[in-house]
Chain A
Amino acid sequence: MSKPVLATTSLAGCFGCHMSILDIDERILQLIELVEFNKSPVDDIKTFTKPVDIGIIEGGCCNSENVEVLRSFRKNCRILISLGECAIMGGLPALRNGIPIEECLHEAYIGGPTVQLNKSHILPNDDELPMLLDRVYPCHEIVKIDYFLPGCPPRADLIWEALVALITGDPMKLPYEVIKFD
């Protein structure tokens, strides 16, 4: 039987959850024995090249590109995992939820106390730029998510335990210390 295929992505996140994946330390050698990586920043494969078994999502959805990537993950992955607070509840980017988007952009590019160089008061408007959503959405409000691993970042032991349990079918060991929201 071939190895299960793993894909990961970071949407509106800080890559901290991916750093936490690397925090499994030398177990990463066991991980590459257990799974094969497909689309992921870890191996820099940019597009799906085969059907994926487990997709790991870091970050929530703050713009149209995030939604597109998330939907392509749902389409290509059998199992999707929301990894970390941002994927689960929007996280820090969601602090803007409830504030009108115009006010946010004005603060960031025109009226904010640290804005000095934008003399002509331009808001980013290039066609290449993804559109900001009205608010930041948790991933499970956009597509179906199968599992949730909380934490900011989720503890490396939690990620490891969850992945191994998912791949081997063994029960998960969850000591009190691994489930944290910060």
Chain B
Amino acid sequence: MSRHPLCIPHEHSFSRRQFLGGVGASAAAAAAMGTFGGLVQPAVAEDLKKREKQVIFIWLDGGMSQLESWDPKPHTEFGGPFRAIPTSVPDIKVCELLRHTAKQMHHIAVVRSACTQDNSHSAGVARIQRGDPKNRGVDYPFFGGAVAKLLGPCPGGLPPYMWVKPGSGGFIHQDGGFLGAKYGSLALGDGKPPESLLLPPSITATEDTLRNDFRSKLNARYAAKHRKANSEANSYVYDVARELSRRSDLFDETKVSDRDRDRYGRHDLGRHMLLGRRLLESGVRFVKVNSYGWDSHGDNFNASQSLIGKFDQSFAALLEDLSERGMLDHTLVIALSEFGRTPRINSHVGRDHWPEAWSIAMAGCGIKRGIAVGATSERGDVVATEPYDIGHFFHTWFRALGIDPGLEEYDNHGQPLPIAHDGMGPIKDVLA
């Protein structure tokens, strides 16, 4: 079959159901070796510290106003009522709504010259989370699916890509794009586990072990006589399912200290961010934490006070914890939305969608600490330095994770596809 980078040979042949099913060699191997057995927490935590890169991707669905967060412009035409406050980094000021985060600024790199394109919600979510590769007629994976594919699952048997979100959960195969469903996400609706997570009370742990041991023997005998792929897939999904069951404490909020709950905040975003940290600690490769409702077309300043206040509290607690636990060295933290918000304040005291000039924050693995890169104009309406589209950010993040977009490419059933926009490159100023 001839190759052409612009179109896809048979996208349908990637079944999107196969969440974690088709068993990339590494996943199967990790599961088959069972290296970490039941001792997930301590063994994995140590191992992760040494070598495993992880990501927590905080997605504020809609747009967070850059003027009320990372790029304040007090006392200017569009500046709004809030003050700019100093941070733990001399020369960097942020909006006073980020008062907790300001104390963690020495961990953070903020890029104030994001200039993306789509200003509609329907396009924004996918465009940003896919890194807006050139349109090749295929659905690119979301960032989590890409990382799950490129780095595989961490040891310990948990799925590589988990998504903590308000509302319903399930297996979100779409996030895998053309890579297929196994690179989709396991979504925990309101932090709750997938259906049928827990062993029913009628079955004791001993009984469960005995019945599964018998199943495994039977499977091994079948596998020895047949083509490998199906048997491996079947064993792998059972291993992941049982590991999730074993780690059901992750979904038990009573296991969390009151102090942590207060630090992160008892609101949805706080609870979900805290679960995000615990998932990272348990060895999930990529965690997406989702917050909805960032769309202050009206009453922007009260809305921002509430929304950004929650983000600030939980984000600062997360950075503090990751830093304290030595996890920032191998964990890439990203906080972003679909776009920024218009500098011009509309007649409803709101700010509308503004992809032209906004800010994206990141921290941790491979990222410089305590810097602000790029700048917007005095009024904050345009980027005054080199503008960076989302493709530049994807290049940057891949590099921070040790993945070279110049060398790595996807193989879409024979069709080579770049992992990041091939007309763009990394933002070198933020790379450590």
A, B co-complexed: no
Residues in A lying within 8 Å of B, measured CB to CB: none
